Structure 1
């Protein structure tokens, strides 16, 4: 957090303003973590060095050697942890820093090595080709949105998705363009989960100036790694010619079926099943008898009527106690 004060304002008065570069909670958390890291690193490294040095010198002298090594190493770790907020800020603006540095140095080298006419020609090509060629212009626009969306996501996380006490933001990876927008990989901090993002997808879409935003896991083994898809347009809206049209016969061709009037004869498309044309399947016979028929001694089947057994000549044979006579089956 930096304070900025100017001498006079627009109407002659002094103005006082505050420009927030690093969040206050994250700044205090970084200071506390740096102090803890310094002591832990210094003590651990000092004891390890002293334990190794006791083989070559007196233990008290080994402790001094351990302290001489542990304190500088702890100071290095303290510095890294302390400036970590600045390193994160540099990471957020790393693409812009690289592009700006490359453009400035490239223009300076070009100015020193060529004439003004060549510089104007190069500038015209660099600016004119994207303006004239549509694919190049679309590609540059997509890359520009990739740079913008990282900062928009960082703003959204800082405004309404910060869920831990220290106020640390998720680590936003490199964004790359897709046919429908952009895709960004994010590493969540402790205190956040994919459910927190799913409940605020509408706000993320507004913050990124997109139509919709979807989120899904980017790793099956790490729940902290998620993938955001920022959708700005639909790509499945155009008409696609179907190859099936070429398979339909041409009614005006030489092979078209024509009637007496010279027009093509249209065949009626069946809409229902014609049951009279279906062959009725034969009734299966189970062990030589079906539907109450039994074979007689001549190899013919007898018909049962009125609860009794009938032979082929129509005479009825009664069964005693409802049990079939074995002689009827021989």
Structure 2
């Protein structure tokens, strides 16, 4: 196409378009200033709470804390600092609460950033609303409120992407049974059974033994019959005889029944005894 025949729209489209001529348009929601402020406060509520607490302690009690440390000797101040650091490091309810809240805040921000990058938006440009984030033994649980135009189908096959964005092991996405607009995302960061040693009363005989001392067939040897006490019976060790024509030696084969029987074989006749000692030769 000659340069003189190019239109103004063609030149504008050529700057932001790709090789296929497509343009991606992202619409931002038109919200008022009070709504934007409220959403920002809700999103950064824990950070604002921590900053407000630090400011309050510094203004209201900063002078008293400074005077207390100045009045004490240096060794006592060092001891207080060591005790305070040890209390923070050790496992206690306050430390668990702070760590759980820290990871909940991180999970909310990372999930929102992941939704923005995945373009999980409706046509008005609104993201799913993050209602709450709770801590569990394995990680966190995030509840989403899907805006009009969004549903759980927009998050199909996105579990691995969300887990990678939240620095977690895995993620499970499920819809509420009562309301389709409520979506539950479970972020799994740890496995509580990975480092737990489970003991069973059924393994008292071998739980304290090293693995090399336990044979592979220890269970089968325990369940097998005890053949060391008495010698096996010859009548039970021999295979059952079958009835039929006589062989070359003159002996006949007898077929035993399913019950426990004892067969006495001779050259002239065959006698089959039942379990109670009764002669059942005529019935066979």
TM class by shorter chain equals 0.5 to 0.7
Give per-residue Cα distances to partners, 1:175-231, cap 9 Å, x unaligned.
2211111111111112221122132111111111111111112x3221111111111
Q: Does 1:242 align with 2:203?
A: no
Contact 1:161 1:196 in 2 (8 A): no
Which residue in 2 is equivalent to 1:83? 34
1:26-45 aligned at under 5 Å gives the runs 26-27=28-29, 29-30=30-31
- Residue 138 of structure 1 and its aligned partner are, at CA, apart by 5.0
| TM-score, scaled relative to structure 1 | 0.48
1:117 to 58, 68, 75: 68
User: Structure 1: 5+ residue runs without aligned partners?
Assistant: 1-23, 31-80, 250-265, 280-330
Question: What TM-score do you get using the length of structure 2 for normalisation?
Answer: 0.55
Higher Cα Rg: structure 1 or 2? 1
Q: Distance in 2 between matches of 1:192 and 1:164?
A: 6
The CA deviation at 1:268 is 3.5
Q: Kindly report the root-mean-square deviation, in angstroms, between the aligned alpha carbons of the 2 structures.
A: 3.5
C-alpha contact 2:121 2:128 (8 A) present in aligned 1: no
Measured in 2, the distance between the counterparts of 1:223 and 1:182 equals 21
Cα distance, 1:121 vs. partner?
8.1
**Pairing partner for 2:52 from 85, 90, 101:** 101
How far apart, CA to CA, are the structure 2 residues paired with 1:144 and 1:117? 30
- Offset from partner CA, 1:137-180 (integer Å, 9 cap, x none): 45533321111111111111111142312211111122221111
Cα 1:85–1:244 shift into 2, 3 Å: same
Higher helix share: 1
Change (3 A) 1:165 1:122: farther
Specify every segment of 5 or more residues in structure 2 that has no aligned partner in the other structure, as ranges.
Answer: 1-25, 71-76, 207-221, 227-235, 237-256, 262-284
Instruction: Give the total of aligned pairs.
Output: 185
Distance 2:82 2:61 in 1: 14
- C-alpha distance in 1, partners of 2:39/2:80? 34
For 1:277-288, what aligned pairs fall within 5 Å after superposition?
277=259
Counterpart contact for 2:120–2:154, Cα < 8 Å: no
Question: Contact conserved, 2:128 with 2:147, CA < 8 A, in 1?
Answer: yes
Deviation at 1:123, TM superposition (A): 8.5
Matched, 1:128 2:79: no
Alignment of 1:1-330 (within 5 A): 25-27=27-29, 29-30=30-31, 81-118=32-69, 124=81, 128-135=85-92, 137-217=95-175, 219-237=176-194, 238-246=196-204, 268-269=224-225, 276-277=258-259
3-state SS, counterpart of residue 26 of structure 1: coil
CA displacement at 1:243 relative to structure 2? 2.2
**Aligned-residue offset at 1:124:** 3.2
Q: Distance in 1 between matches of 2:121 and 2:80?
A: 47
> Secondary structure of 2:178's match?
coil
Write out the 4+ residue segments of structure 1 that deviate beyond 6 Å after TM superposition.
Answer: 119-123
**Structure-2 change in CA distance of 1:125 and 1:186 (3 Å):** farther
